[in-house]
Amino acid sequence: MTHQFPTLSEAQKRELHETALRIVSPGKGILAADESVGSMAKRLAQVGVENTEENRRQFRQILFSADDRINSCIGGVIFFHETLYQHSDNGVAFVKMIRDRGILVGVKVDKGVVPLAGTCGETTTQGLDGLAERCAQYKKDGAVFAKWRCVLKISDSNPSKLAIAENANTLARYSSICQQNGIVPVIEPEILPDGDHDLKRCQYVTEKVLAAVYKAMSDHHVYLEGTLLKPNMVTPGHSCPTKYSPEEVAMASVSAMRRTVPPAVPGICFLSGGQSEEEASIHLNAINNCPLAKPWVLTFSFGRALQASALRAWRGHKENEKTATEQFIKRAEVNSLACLGKYSGGDNHGEAGHRIFGSCHAY
């Protein structure tokens, strides 16, 4: 490793860096609309809609036809492969609809999780085969960023050293390949909230996982200024008996990021995991009000937390489309305020910014 064999030209670096900055411009975040066919089945089943290609197209159309109010809230949309080539009722390509309003197009490029033999139910993520060619094609078709999701679990035995190392390595290979093709990689090492572990445990695991991710990025010569991170917020497990305030979640999340994410990374776009729409917004807002130095943008890359109400309002009925779109716009605007630390919250919260964050030394 003593000599550098440059991976990217100055022009390539500039392009990647500027793309990343545009996605996370102040007040903006990402709409994760990249649910696979299998995931869409789960979403649509909950509202009694059949999982057909046409229904998937109609639902994404509801989101993409939102009016100009979302232009200042949404910096990027992540597409699933199928959606990238679909059109609106008027025959306008979804990609064109999104790009024409100044929102950047991204595409999910991983091919799902596969088991890691010899572990306790852990996985890695596949999709590296032919990834360079696929990225080159997606770039031609209008995408400028990509997403790859790795999954880790917390339990008595997990995450194991192998799962951490293998997933970090895969994320780094994916990132390297994307950048070679002018695509900004969104790096997603999701630690699931399943379990009864507390906030501290999640923070500890998150710190270890992210340290491994950034060491792998360094080893693979990834240009950090041209990447984005999509981590979980640090939260207690779903079945944890203890309740934590948004400020505690924020302090734990920001501490974990401060200990592991180099300042060169332009933005951190949190995933919402199993959080409700309001929870996710409240937490994001608290994160942005946390009184610790935060040298990266802290914003959202939400799927369910942007779409749940829209989905429920729609229920597959044409006459509900406008209402459904309004629900989405509402969440987009709320999260835009949250990523600026200006969301005053729902019924239970008063003035944004006047909160008790407590001492950082307990984290």
Catalytic, 319? Answer no
DSSP 64: H
Q: Which window, 3-11, 27-35, 134-142, 238-246, contacts other proteins (CB under 8 A)?
A: 3-11
Compute the least distance from the CB of residue 216 to other proteins, in Å: 9
Show the binding pattern over residues 10-49: x = contacts other proteins (CB under 8 A), - = does not.
xx-xx--x--------------------------------
Q: For residue 273, what are its two tokens? A: 């995991």
3-class secondary-structure state, position 182:
coil
Minimal distance, residue 117 CB to other proteins, in Å: 19
294 binds other proteins (CB under 8 A): yes
What is the distance between the alpha carbons of residues 94 and 11, in angstroms, rounded to a whole number?
29
Q: Residue 164 interacts with other proteins (CB under 8 A)?
A: yes
Dig out the tokens for 276 from the structure: 């409700």
Residue 261 as a binder of other proteins (CB under 8 A): the answer is yes
- 230 is an active site residue: yes
282 binds other proteins (CB under 8 A): no
DSSP 296: S
Q: Which residues contact 220 (CB under 8 A, 6 or more apart)?
A: 169, 172, 173, 175, 176
Question: Does the footprint of other proteins cover residue 293 (CB under 8 A)?
Answer: yes
E strands present in the chain: 29-33, 74-79, 104-108, 113-115, 123-125, 145-152, 184-191, 228-229, 267-270, 297-302
218 binds other proteins (CB under 8 A): yes
Which residue in 108, 225, 230, 247 is the catalytic one? 230
Q: Which is nearer to other proteins, 225 or 279 (CB)?
A: 225
Using DSSP's 3-state secondary structure scheme, residue 149 falls into: strand
> What single string gives the DSSP state of each residue in 233-287?
P----TT-S----HHHHHHHHHHHHHTTS-TTS-EEEE--TT--HHHHHHHHHHH
One of 35, 166, 188, 225 is an active-site residue; which one? Answer: 188
Exactly one of 86, 125, 158, 335 binds other proteins (CB under 8 A); that residue is: 158
- Sites of contact with other proteins (CB under 8 A): 1-4, 10-11, 13-14, 17, 154-161, 164, 200-201, 204-205, 207-208, 211-212, 214-215, 218-219, 224-225, 255, 257-264, 293-295, 359-362
